[in-house]
Structure 1
Amino acid sequence: MTRSLRVGGQDVSRETLGRLEIYADLLKRWNPRINLVAPSTLPDLWTRHIADSAQVFELAPPEARSWVDLGTGGGFPGLVVAVLAAELAPDLAVTCIESDQRKATFLRTVLRETGIKAEVRAERIEAAPAMNADVVSARALAALDRLLPMVQRHLKPGGIALFPKGDSYRSEVQQALESWRFAADTYQSQTNPNAVILKVGDIRRA
């Protein structure tokens, strides 16, 4: 039996951990060229980015079959979700939308090197066809009031959105409520005491 290891709150196999290590190594090699993450965060890559993304995966409903990550950038949380899903939710189809062609090339390289299946769409979020996803995520992409119209376009009725947010999330929620109505649950981040994950659903214009 393969011995399990724990990553970001998930019990994962050595194979999954190995894929995440391949991903981390590729990111460190590519980062000086295309700035996938802030260089200052590289020493803490596993906690700051990988475990932080893994906890987003944990909040998805088990019946979800489609996940769209907006503005994936260096792959957080979209690629981490795809790696974890290969083992823990094999029926979950993951799509990463990233308009920067160089970053999209990096994402496809990680998928090829890890053997993970996911779709990378190198186009603008507003130009991509509506994805009708069960789950939509976005990390460090925009304030909530700007995120919601993007998410509404790609989220199926009854779906949920997951947003890692910093300590300014309360003001973001208040500002978004000026134009939008939505249901929101807040989950304390496991990796940052000043951060949360917002779980948002029932999104509609005010």
Structure 2
Amino acid sequence: MKQGLPTVPRETEALLRDYLALLLRWNTRINLVARADAETLWVRHILDSAQLASLLPEASGPLVDLGSGAGFPGLVLALLSGRETHLVEADRRKCAFLQEAARLLGLSRVTIHPARIEAAPLLPAAILTARALAPLPILCGYAYRILAPHGIALFPKGRTATEELTAAAADWTMRTERFPSRTDPDSTILRLSEIRPVSAQA
């Protein structure tokens, strides 16, 4: 493994390798992730998701992952944290994959919502995640609606992170923390809290 990459507990790595093998099999039939070899996908998706675990708050409460796709980062964080987790995914074929992956990983506290984000029946979340889903101004709208009052949002972002923060500031106020990605030198992880519309501050 490359020096500096995040690691996962030894006892869970075998499960995550099985998850990756399942992903590779399904990916030949439905488009879950861009085609690549197993080790590239391990770093690009499994370890990239796993690095968020150290940024989760200690407070209890459910995690909601929007636009879950193949389960990144939601399924990985569910396994590493043991939290109640809700995966929202509108594509029913991807939902079928998520059901099978959750079964393989033994994640009984995972609920999959085959629905658009606006229609998913979600309780207030302690943590909100979304990866490669939408620009930050849109994600802030979701966070404001879904997060509990003291909840936090974790949004991995690429080179456009600064520009997206500037765009979001036109309509949203928030407490922002930035963490460098350990899997991609061009990426940043945003940890946001206290998200409010600018109009509410007037």
With the length of structure 2 as denominator, give the TM-score of the two structures: 0.91
The alignment partner of 2:78 has SS state of helix
Displacement of 1:83 in angstroms is 1.5
Indicate conservation of the 8 Å contact 2:20/2:38, yes or no: no
The alignment partner of 2:9 has SS state of strand
Indicate conservation of the 8 Å contact 1:185/1:198, yes or no: yes
Partner of 1:106: 97
Displacement of 1:42 in angstroms is 5.1
Counting aligned pairs with the same residue, the percent is 42
Indicate conservation of the 8 Å contact 1:136/1:155, yes or no: yes
Displacement of 1:64 in angstroms is 3.1
Partner of 2:58: 62
Partner of 1:34: 30
Runs of 4+ in 1 over 3 A off after TM superposition: 7-11, 40-43
What is the number of residues matched between the two proteins? 194
- Change in 2 beyond 3 A, CA 1:19/1:11: closer
Structure 1 residue identity aligned to 2:91: D
Displacement of 1:155 in angstroms is 0.5
Displacement of 1:9 in angstroms is 3.2
Partner of 2:72: 76
> In 1, distance between residues paired with 2:37 and 2:173?
35
User: Mapping of 1:84-163 within 5 angstroms?
Assistant: 84-85=80-81, 90=82, 92-117=83-108, 118-163=110-155
The RMSD of aligned alpha carbons is 1.6
- Change in 2 beyond 3 A, CA 1:146/1:127: same
Structure 1 residues not aligned, in runs of 5+:
1-6
Partner of 2:20: 24
Structure 1 residue identity aligned to 2:157: K
The alignment partner of 2:134 has SS state of coil
Q: Deviations over 1:127-153 (max 9, x none)?
A: 112420100000000000111111221
Displacement of 1:201 in angstroms is 0.7
Displacement of 1:119 in angstroms is 0.8
The alignment partner of 1:158 has SS state of strand
> In 1, distance between residues paired with 2:37 and 2:132?
14
Indicate conservation of the 8 Å contact 1:97/1:121, yes or no: yes
The alignment partner of 1:76 has SS state of coil
> In 1, distance between residues paired with 2:174 and 2:8?
32
User: Mapping of 1:184-195 within 5 angstroms?
Assistant: 184-195=176-187
Q: Deviations over 1:43-74 (max 9, x none)?
A: 50111100000011210012233100000001
> In 2, distance between residues paired with 1:168 and 1:53?
19
The alignment partner of 2:151 has SS state of strand
- Change in 2 beyond 3 A, CA 1:127/1:68: same
Structure 2 residue identity aligned to 1:83: L
> In 1, distance between residues paired with 2:122 and 2:98?
21
